[in-house]
Chains A and B, each alone.
Chain A
């Protein structure tokens, strides 16, 4: 019973991140829609022409209208497949490149942070989600730097002396508390 209560309290994993997956879905949908419209326009005009031509010519060796346009339809369907697939592949490769670039810079930034560099901006690519993510990392780093700078200033001030033992002890304890708040 206790386990069930604990499980129900755990946050659910969100399977849709609209800011990241939404634009990708829209871009794929646009490719499919554009491909469909081009296919429709081309096939419509050519089928109209072919049916008219065949009706006037009077060579009726075909069992159905499909037999008349079979080759034409096959070529256009092949064109639609390659067009949509190639454009989709380019989009996939673009997304992968943007991810590698954006997250790569975030990784470099965190690596530099581990070496003490908390001020150099992450500089992720200006694609919405990665840019926002980079800003979040920079925010966390600047908060840490501000906290460390404040503690450092207090430590230096305290080390300079010139205060009563009571005040020194009070501020010493405060400083310890401040240090404990770093990376809780």
Chain B
């Protein structure tokens, strides 16, 4: 499989990654709901007294405490679920955020004029075609740059002959380069 075709075939975000994210979210939600169930189970499973008045008063007296019990249990659930989901987001979404951050660094380097190295992502990172197309673009620019420099050096070789030939060759090379650059728009 050659370059462009391979880049086209690779999905930006793989299905396996999406399913993995959904599965982890499911497990996380089950865990959160399970913890909420356990808290409420232990809060409500105190045995009721056996006689009529005892049970009546136990149930009537439960009402004022029900709201704080529920509030605390839901708060605990929210804190635990938010904490674990945040950790999940940071860990899983890093497979997209990491490559984006990497490309941004390389773009900043490129714009500042420092040497731009080939970009490659880690195993398991998503948006792989982005690195491939970026490398393709930089590669095509470098090929053009080298061709233009080669054209100029080729013209310089004629300077071993007389001045007029040298100048004519150089001007010809410049016209060729200018024409070649016209493809950039």
Q: Does B113 contact A (CB under 8 A)?
A: yes
Q: How near does chain A come to B171, taking the closest CB pair, in angstroms?
A: 5
Residues 74-95 (chain B) with a chain A CB within 8 angstroms:
74-75, 77-78, 81-82, 85-86, 89-90, 93-94
Pick from B44, B100, B107: contact of A66, CB under 8 Å: B44
Q: Does A126 contact B (CB under 8 A)?
A: no
Q: Does B120 contact A (CB under 8 A)?
A: no
Type the 1/0 row for A74-97, where 1 means its CB is closer than 8 Å to any CB of B: 000100110011001100110110
Pairwise interchain contact B66-A51, C-beta atoms closer than 8 A: yes
For residue A152, which residue of chain B has the nearest CB? Answer: B181
Pairwise interchain contact A183-B116, C-beta atoms closer than 8 A: yes
Pairwise interchain contact B136-A111, C-beta atoms closer than 8 A: yes
Pick from B103, B170, B184: contact of A118, CB under 8 Å: B184
How many residues from A make CB contacts under 8 Å with B? Answer: 89
Pick from B108, B141, B175: contact of A144, CB under 8 Å: B141
A107 to B14, CA, bound (A): 16
Q: Does A32 contact B (CB under 8 A)?
A: yes
Residues 32-91 (chain A) with a chain B CB within 8 angstroms:
32-33, 36-37, 39-40, 43-44, 47-48, 51-52, 54-55, 58, 60, 62-66, 68-69, 73, 77, 80-81, 84-85, 88-89
Q: How near does chain A come to B53, taking the closest CB pair, in angstroms?
A: 10
Residues 101-157 (chain A) with a chain B CB within 8 angstroms:
103-104, 106-107, 110-111, 113-114, 116-119, 129, 133, 136-137, 139-140, 143-145, 148-149, 151-152, 155-156
B contact residues, range:
35 or more
- Interface of chain B: mostly helix, strand, loop or mixed: helix
Pick from A51, A62, A80, A89: contact of B33, CB under 8 Å: A80
A183 to B109, CA, bound (A): 10
Q: How near does chain B come to A98, taking the closest CB pair, in angstroms?
A: 10
Taking CB atoms, residues of chain A closer than 8 Å to B181 are: 148-149, 151-152, 155
Question: Which residue, of B13, B74, B145, has the highest number of chain A Cβ atoms within 10 A?
Answer: B74
Q: How near does chain B come to A5, taking the closest CB pair, in angstroms?
A: 21
Taking CB atoms, residues of chain A closer than 8 Å to B70 are: 40, 43-44, 47
Q: Does A170 contact B (CB under 8 A)?
A: no
Q: How near does chain B come to A184, taking the closest CB pair, in angstroms?
A: 5
Q: How near does chain A come to B123, taking the closest CB pair, in angstroms?
A: 14
Q: Does B5 contact A (CB under 8 A)?
A: no
Taking CB atoms, residues of chain A closer than 8 Å to B141 are: 144, 182-183
Taking CB atoms, residues of chain A closer than 8 Å to B165 are: none
B interface vs A, CB < 8 Å? 7, 12-13, 18, 21-22, 25-26, 29-30, 32-33, 36-37, 40-41, 44-48, 52, 55-56, 58-60, 62-63, 66-67, 70-71, 74-75, 77-78, 81-82, 85-86, 89-90, 93-94, 96-98, 100-101, 103-104, 107-108, 110-111, 113-116, 126-127, 129-130, 133-134, 136-142, 144-145, 148-149, 152, 163, 167, 170-172, 174-175, 177-178, 181-185
- 19 A-B pairs within 8 Å (CB atoms) are namely A15-B98, A16-B97, A28-B82, A28-B86, A43-B70, A55-B56, A60-B52, A65-B46, A77-B33, A88-B85, A92-B22, A133-B103, A152-B181, A159-B178, A172-B170, A175-B174, A181-B113, A183-B116, A184-B115
Report the 5 A-B pairs with minimum CB-CB distance, sorted nearest first.
Answer: A183-B141, A17-B97, A159-B174, A66-B44, A110-B133
